[in-house]
Structure 1
Amino acid sequence: MASDQRYPLTTPPKMRALSIRQPWLWAILEGDKRVENRDWAGCEYRGPVLLHASKSCGKREFEDAVEAVEEMRIDLGLAPIEVPQLGQLERGCICGIARVTGATRHPESWPNARWVVQSGYRIAGALGLELEDVRKLPPIPFKGALGFFPVGHDQLATVAGFETADLYRDAWRELEAASRRAA
């Protein structure tokens, strides 16, 4: 479809988004975090997901998360990385996309370690959403929600314009195709 045609006869399908607190989203978009931990019972969804930077994050919560990112990188044998200050990180916006390829329940306990070496940011007892094809995109201010929440192309276009909304739509379609090939 030519870029100047805007869904002439149909409404674009709803995309799904997931809110993630900082600095965890930063570690996904800028680092090597490829597991997003949740306390959900399960997750059957596989496919693209827009990555939303949650607006809320307390100072103490942020400091604890930065410490955890640093510890996990050491456990994984990775070079130290400087996490930006909370005020420098995007919040209250959709700013990336990834593909959910699996969901694994992590063991409740791991012998002799808070984090397991080569665990890939997995948290004991949590459900780990496995992410691939992570891509940072221009931020679009957007209100988040719990769980996977719907986002329409028209909503993104209203806030950011069609050019930016089309970047997200095109990335979504690309990852949908990748999900179909992987299935």
Structure 2
Amino acid sequence: MRALTVQQPWAWAIFNGKRIENRTQLWRYRGPLAIHAGQRLSDRGMGDERIHRAVRHWQRGVVAHGGATPLLRDALEYGVVLGVVDLVDCHPDAGCCAPWGEQAYVEHGGRERRRITHLVLERPRLLPEPIPCKGLLGLWTPPADITAQLEELTR
């Protein structure tokens, strides 16, 4: 099993309707992928209309089950593995994968536009309790004890 660190609220969104993760390189790996919520909050993500729509949908579900309207900031967790998805495809952007697929983005603080690769995610399985774990950049292998816990979700 491999893992991917994703900034919040994008990591939350993967378990709330987001089926495309945007990256800048093609990967050969296919299979179970642990989603790790990084330590940073993406200001761009918090202002993104796609996230706002997912939050409104999530809030309606919580209220429909008798809960109070939650705030996204209160629900976000950091430095934890949230769950597992299946990485089923990885392809360069071709104007596809709406609404989550992006075409290009500007690096943090720079002017360079980077081409985007779409990671196609299926079957999100959220853990009952997130697992604290230090993340890494790129595609990485979780520690053996965490992998053992996550393999329960891949069956």
Matched, 1:150 2:141: yes
Alignment of 1:119-130 (within 5 A): 119-124=98-103, 125-130=115-120
Aligned mate of 1:63, from 46, 63, 66 = 46
Aligned mate of 2:9, from 9, 19, 23 = 23
Structure 2: state its 5+ residue gaps. Answer: 60-69, 104-114
Matched, 1:102 2:89: yes
Which has the greater radius of gyration? 1
* Number of matched pairs: 132
SS in 1 for 2:51: helix
1:119-170 superposed Cα distances (whole Å, 9 cap, x missing partner):
140001410100111110020111111111111332x3xxxxxxxx754122
> Which residue number in structure 2 is paired with residue 46 of structure 1?
30
User: Hey, which bits of structure 1, 4+ residues long, moved more than 6 A?
Assistant: none
AA of the residue aligned to 2:136: A
TM-score of the superposed pair, with normalisation by structure 2: 0.72
User: How far did residue 62 of structure 1 move?
Assistant: 4.1
Residues 36 and 82 in structure 2, CA contact (< 8 A), matched pair in contact too: yes
AA of the residue aligned to 1:38: R
SS in 2 for 1:121: coil
1:61-83 superposed Cα distances (whole Å, 9 cap, x missing partner):
3433x43434xx5xxxx995359
Residues 34 and 120 in structure 1, CA contact (< 8 A), matched pair in contact too: no
Structure 1: state its 5+ residue gaps. Answer: 1-14, 111-115, 157-164, 175-183
Residues 90 and 119 in structure 2, CA contact (< 8 A), matched pair in contact too: yes
Residues 22 and 54 in structure 1, CA contact (< 8 A), matched pair in contact too: yes
Aligned mate of 2:22, from 37, 44, 51 = 37
- Which is richer in strand? 2
AA of the residue aligned to 1:33: K
CA distance, structure 2, for counterparts of residue 79 and residue 67 of structure 1: 10
CA distance, structure 1, for counterparts of residue 18 and residue 71 of structure 2: 16
CA distance, structure 2, for counterparts of residue 50 and residue 38 of structure 1: 16
1:13-72 superposed Cα distances (whole Å, 9 cap, x missing partner):
xx311011111111111x2111111012x11110001110011125x33433x43434xx
> Which residue number in structure 1 is paired with residue 110 of structure 2?
none
TM-score of the superposed pair, with normalisation by structure 1: 0.62
